[in-house]
């Protein structure tokens, strides 16, 4: 009789129960804010080879939004979540705060490919360098959170 190990996955979402977490954040201020046509990585996480995962949350911050919750637009700047250098649909070219820092973010469940690099990027699409000192937002921050696990397609788990 062949030995069979029980499935170690959540019955609802299919994520292995022993999956690890990642939670990475970063910010830019002053001279670190990207010039027109440039971008800065606010947060990034590299999955291990032979591991896949899921992005579960992201959050955004600006100093202007922190003072006034009505200030959700980031005109001239866009937020992107990239997977291995490619935009992660549907979180492409956001020009406003959709998941504010410090609040219970709306969860997202976007599957990440094996060995993917996940990056939360701020891109300056329209504010000229000489206008940056007068731009009202002086600080941007981003946070990405998720889970990752060993991909069974590389072996390791016996199923019936």
Mean pLDDT across 136-141: 97
Residue 8 in domain: no
91 domain residue, yes or no = yes
Predicted local distance difference test score (pLDDT) of residue 137: 96
Task: Decide if 10 is inside a domain.
Answer: no
Task: Tell me if 13 is assigned to some domain.
Answer: no
49: Cβ contacts below 8 Å, ≥ 6 apart: 114, 115
pLDDT at residue 1 is higher than 70: no
Q: What is the pTM of this model?
A: 0.84
16 in a structural domain: no
Q: Is residue 157 part of a domain?
A: no
Two structure tokens written together for 84? 């291995």
Average pLDDT over residues 49-54: 90
- pLDDT band per the 50, 70, 90 thresholds, residue 5: very low
Q: What are phi and psi of 39, to 5 degrees?
A: -140, 160
pLDDT at 156: 56
pLDDT in tens, 73-83: 999 999 999 99
CB 115 within 8 A of CB 150: no
Supply the range of the domain harboring residue 91: 24-151
The tens digit of pLDDT for each residue in 73-114 reads 999 999 999 999 999 888 888 999 999 987 766 788 899 999
The number of domains in the chain is 1
In a domain, 60, yes or no: yes
Residue 113 falls within a domain, yes or no? yes
What share of the chain has pLDDT > 70, as a percent? Answer: 87
**What CATH number is attached to the domain comprising 98?**
2.60.120
């Amino acid at each position: 009789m062949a030995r069979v190990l029980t499935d170690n996955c959540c019955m609802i979402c299919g994520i292995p129960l022993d999956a690890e977490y990642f939670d990475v954040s970063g910010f830019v201020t002053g001279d670190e804010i990207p010039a027109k046509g440039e971008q800065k990585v606010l947060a990034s996480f590299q999955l291990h080879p032979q591991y896949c995962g899921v992005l579960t949350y992201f959050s955004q911050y600006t100093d202007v939004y922190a003072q006034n919750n009505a200030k959700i637009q980031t005109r001239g700047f866009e937020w992107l979540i990239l997977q291995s250098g490619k935009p992660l649909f549907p979180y492409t070219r956001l020009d406003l705060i959709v998941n504010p820092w410090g609040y219970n973010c709306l969860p997202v469940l976007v599957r990440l490919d094996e060995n993917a690099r996940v990056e939360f990027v701020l891109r300056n699409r329209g504010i000229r360098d000489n206008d940056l000192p007068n731009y009202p937002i002086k600080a941007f921050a981003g946070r990405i959170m998720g889970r990752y696990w060993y991909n069974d397609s590389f072996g390791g788990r016996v199923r019936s």
